[in-house]
Amino acid sequence: MQDAQRGRLVEAVLAAAGPQRLRDLFWEHLQGRLVGVANHRLANHGLQRLLDHAPCDVVGAVLEELGPALRQPLARGHPGVLTALTGACRRHPPLQPRALRRVLEAFDCWEPPERRQGCVGLLAALRPWGGGDKEQGAEPEPSLGTVTLPGSLLLQHLLHFGDPGPVLGALAALPPAALAALALSPPGSRVWDALLASPAVPPPRPPPPPAQAQGPLPVARLPPQRQPRPRRHLGLLLAPRPRRHRRRAGPPAPGAAAGPPRARRRAAAAPPPAPAPAVAAGGLTASEFPPPGVERRRGRSLEEHEYKELLEDYQP
C-alpha cells in the first residue's frame, strides 16, 4: 500500500462490495493486522471505508482487536479511524457501550470517573488528558479549547448513542461561557444540533390544555348597532334577476277609450260620464233653448207648457 492511486481503488472496491464480500475480505486479509493498517498513512483510509459498510459482526471484531490500541492511530494523526469506528457502532446499538468506553480510554478520561467531566474538551480538541502522559496526577478542569472538525464528528456520533451519559455529564459541567463558545464555533454548532436530536434528550413537552371552565361559557354579544348583517348566499347574489315582461297593449276593445295604457286605465277608473242631453224636435238640443231672440228670466227655469209654446213658434 505505497501507491495512493491503488489505495483509492481499494477504497472504491470496499465501498461497492456487499456484506458477504466484506466478511470474506476481512477474515482472509485484515484479521490480526488491524493495528498496522490503522497506523499506515494510506491503508487507514481503506479501513475507514470498510467500517462505513461493514456488517455488525465485522465491526464487533474490529472493535475487539483495535479498541485497546486506538491511542496509536490518534497519536499518528489518523483520527478518521476513531470517527469511522464510532460511526459504525452508532449503526449497531449492541456495540455502543463498549465503543464509548474504548474511545474514552484512548483519551485517558475513563478512569478515574472524575475525569469524565472534562472529556468534551479533550474529545473536541483530539487531545488526550495530560498530553498522553499518564503520570500526571492533576485532574483536568472542565473547559473547552479549540474544536476540530474530526473532534466535532466524534462528539456527534457519541451523542447519538443510546446512552451517552459521560458526554452529557461533561457538557453539563461546562461553564456558560464555554457552552456559548461551542455554539458560536462552526464545527461546535453541529455538536449542539446532535445534542438536541439525541435520543437521550427528551422531546419538549406540549403546552398544557386550557382549564375547563365551570358552567356554560359567556356569550359575547355585540351592541345592536354593530350586529353583523346576515350574509346572503353567494348563489342568490350572483343569480340574474328575472325580468318583468310588460304586456303589450292590444287593440282597444270596442267602446274603450283610445290612447296609451295609462290613459286607458285612468279612463276605466273614472266615473261614467253624464248622459247626453235629449235632442229636441227640429234637430236642436235642450241646451240651445231658449232660441235666439227669446229672453229668459234669471233665476227661473221655463215650464213645460212654455217649452211647447216656444217650439211651436220656432217651427219653420
pLDDT, tens digit, for every residue of 92-119?
Answer: 999 999 999 999 999 998 888 888 888 8
Read off the pLDDT band of 19 (50, 70, 90): confident
Q: Identify whether 101 is part of a domain.
A: yes
pLDDT of res. 141: 57
pLDDT of res. 260: 64
Cα–Cα distances in angstroms (integers) from residue 77 to residues 41, 72, 303, 311, in the given order: 9, 9, 156, 158
Lowest mean pLDDT among 32-41, 42-51, 203-212: 203-212
Q: Identify whether 265 is part of a domain.
A: no
Q: Strand pairing partners for 279? A: 285
Clarify whether residues 80 and 178 are in a common domain: no
Q: 188 pLDDT exceeds 80?
A: yes
Range of the domain at 172: 111-131+143-201
pLDDT, tens digit, for every residue of 271-287?
Answer: 766 665 554 444 444 44
Number of folded domains that form the chain: 2
Q: Identify whether 99 is part of a domain.
A: yes
Q: For residue 181, which of 125, 128, 140, 107 has the smallest C-alpha distance?
A: 125
pTM above 0.85, yes or no: no
Mean pLDDT across 1-26: 82
Clarify whether residues 10 and 87 are in a common domain: yes
